[in-house]
Every structure is written in C-alpha cells, then in structure tokens.
Structure 1
Amino acid sequence: MRSLKEPIDHEAEIKVKIELAICNYLAKNQELRAKLELARATLTQNKAEFEEERAKVTQRETMLRGQVNLATIRGAQVAELAVSRQQQLRTCDQKMERGKLREEIESVSTQERCAREMVASRDQHIR
C-alpha cells in the first residue's frame, strides 16, 4: 500500500511546488509591475521637468539673441557716431587751421603795411 500512497504524495508535493512557484511568480510579477508603474511615473515627471527646462532655455536663448541683436545695432550706431564725430573734428580742425592761417595772413599783411609805411615815411624824410 505504501507504493500507492507515494504517487499520491508525490503528486500532491508536485502540485504544492507548482502552486508555490505560481504564487512566487505572481508576487514577483506584481512587484515588477509596481516598479514599472513607478518608473513610468518618474519618467513622466522627468519629461515634464525636461520640457519645462527646455522652455526656460528657449526663452533665455530668445532673450539673449534679442540682447545680441540690440548690442549689434547699438554697436553699429556707435560706429556711425564715431565716424561722424571724426568727420566733425576734421572739419573743425580745418576751420581752426583756416582761421589761424587768416590770422597769420592778417598779421603778415599788417606787418607788411607797417613796413611799407615805414619805408614810405623814410623815403619822405630822405627827400
């Protein structure tokens, strides 16, 4: 009779092992599903944070490009102003130089007149 019980016990033992294996599989599967859901939630949150950071970076880039464009425009305006000022200075220098030359010419003319008057005066005394 023992031989008849052994297959029954052996089958029951196998069924218990199979049920244990299935329970372990289901528990592990449930644990992995929970980890997967947590990973998905983390990924979704990370994507949202990434998009938020990307939007901030895009906004910052746009602002910096605007500042660069403004600085470029201002630089061009400053360069134009510098050229204009240089031309004005040259014109002013030329006018000042002309004024000095006129004064020198007037001074020389005055000296020449005085010299002629002195020569004319001497000539009158000599005669």
Structure 2
Amino acid sequence: MSDSATAVTSKPKVLVADDEQVIANTLAIILNQAGFEARAVYSGEKAIESLDTFEPDMLISDVIMTGMTGIEAAIATRAKRPNCKILLFSGQAATADLLEKARAQGHEFEILAKPVHPTDLLAKLRRQS
C-alpha cells in the first residue's frame, strides 16, 4: 500500500491521550524509549486535532476524560484514519456502559485496565504493529 521505503523503516507512531498529564507523558516516554515514536495529548479533542499532523499508527486513550471521552475519540479516529489501531484503558467502572453503547453502534475496541504495566502495554503494542 505504501509507495515509500521510509514507511518500512520508520518507527510506529503512537498517540497517547489521557487527561492525567503525568500518565500520558510517562506512557509516551516509555514508548519512545521502546522504539516507538510517541506523542502525548491531554484530551480527546487534542487527539483528534493531532490526527492530521502526527498521523499515528495507533491511538492509546484513557476512556474517562473531561470533555470528549476516549471512546468518542476512538470513534472519530477510526472515521478519520481507518487503519489506525486503537487501544483503550480505564480505571473506572463507568467504562463498561460506554463500551456497551459503542458496541451497540457497531464499534469494537480493546480495553486494558488501569494501571497498565509498561511491559504488558509494550507486548500488546508489538503484537499489533
């Protein structure tokens, strides 16, 4: 599909969205050190804004965020960048209801429970990239 050799040799791009800046920044640092090109944003809205400029291969997003939820950001991401892989994480019980609503609308997303151990996250990312 890609017509440039750089796509083969470039690092997978990962966009990390979490309204808890320490979590987003820490995940981005871990991913960058593990060979990904990662960028942190602090809202679902910022994640959507970053799609055109950063062009991620994967979105990792918290589900429960102020403003746009991670699920809403994931749905918008999938509409804008259909090949972008999506991984959601959450530490809150309200997530199940939001996921069920998304499933009812035909959207299926994988979710990890917070806190996500870095080795578990990296293993999952490497399987998907």
TM norm structure 1 = 0.14
More helix per residue: 1
TM norm structure 2 = 0.14
More strand per residue: 2
Q: Greater Rg, structure 1 or structure 2? A: 1
Greater RCO (Cα-Cα under 8 Å, separation 6 or more): 2
